Structure 1
Amino acid sequence: MSVTKPVQASLADFELGEEVAWGSLATILDVVYKKNGKHYALKVLNKQQLAKKKVVRSAMVEKDALVALGTNPHRHPGVIRLHHCFHDATHLYYVLDLAINGDLKTLVQKLGSISLNCARYYTAQLVDAVLYLHESGVAHRDIKPENILLDGEMRIMLADFGCAYIGEDMQKPRANTFVGTAAYISPELLSRSEANPTSPDVWAIGCTLYFFLFGTSPFLAATDYLTMKRVRALDYVIPPVCDADAADLIKRLLVRPPV
């Protein structure tokens, strides 16, 4: 199925399979599109829960970001694709690429860490996908291993754009809002200081590379408050066993502002 923007569909067009992921706001189902027999991920969002938790805007931002990226004629394979979106009285439905091999958080936690070569492989893919986002006028702002999905060939698909910024001038400093995840959030998002919208993504790449190599975030603490306190203080330690080039890259990424 090749589309430049989400086309009309309904729940009746899909055979519903098993749940593959779930959370407080969304459930992901493995579904089959009856018109072509292919498997997709159906993200189901409860409208009442979105309104109750005041995150309707986040759901709309995700759709808008994926639509904007999907209309780019040079669509990037490292970014998850929105094939259809529709709604009924109670739910929103996003039909997305199916992450057959799960996500990088689960993979790394299963292994404890991944090899330097694997870390290079996935970091290179992540950097390439993020460059594409920024060139397309989108900043993700919530990059973390669980949002880096794996396709059937174990290549990445960056997902979950609910915190995204969409704009034309990605280099113009602007006030930041508090979005993201404590262990991967950048200091400028915490302080809501002015910075160009791309800098939180650069910071998160550094945190993610650290996670690949050591199986944990560089700033992780017992609570989100303590984690964010460490982020503000740039309080992290690179283990001495770390490869010199990897350590140098992490140090260049985890600074204020990222360079």
Structure 2
Amino acid sequence: MRDAMLVAFQYIGATTLVGIWLYLAFFSTVHLRRNHPSYVRTAWYFFSLAFYSTIMISVWAMQNGLIDRSGNTQGKEGEHLMTLLDFTMDINADFFYLSVIVSFIIVPQVISYLICAAFGCASQIVLFRRAMEFAFWSMMKTFCVVSGVFLSIMITGFIYGWIDYSTIMLIKVITISSMLISISLFLMLMYSNWDRAVSFISTRAPGLMNLFNSFHAWATRHSPPPSTSVHLSVGIAVDMP
């Protein structure tokens, strides 16, 4: 009786999580399709590309002996394939590398800004918005790809018998995959409302914004007034004579 109740709770919990994540994906998609339909297409394209290509590679690897009937890799080619798979699904590594890249763009400018602020000759930090865009889109792509790869591997494992199939296992697989794609879509929704969020903060916390503006005015008190400039595609302001 106790085991039956435990199994029932697992089914209810897993099914509830699937519903929550699928609702989040639906909610994000409905709001994105109004003003940013290309975001929705991009997310599902990366998911579909990862899903289809992983299935094709798995079938090819099975037929050529790189993966045996138990799902274990064989030979150096199989090890290389597993290394590629681990690299593709390593979200932590992607997050670490992105953090390092963005920090190299932003942190030196912040340090320079604070030092120059003491002398009143600081300048506005450049490429901040572009760096944030790069980080957002890279993480969105990562979650979409990992979702597609994970789902395709599990389905292939069920078909070829690598993984013991059960309804609860299938629900767990769908839960994880839907969670990843939902996170990606929700990140896109947050990114699309970035300007609105900044405007909301400015409206709700005018004192904080005034504090930032006052500090920037003090930090740039000896800097020349901005001249006419042209913004290149990389986001760098170039002063024109």
More helix by share: 2
Specify the TM-score bucket, using the shorter chain as the normaliser: under 0.3
- TM-score when normalising by structure 1: 0.22
Find the structure with the greater CA-based Rg: 2
Instruction: Point out which structure has higher relative CO (alpha carbons under 8 A, 6+ apart).
Output: 2
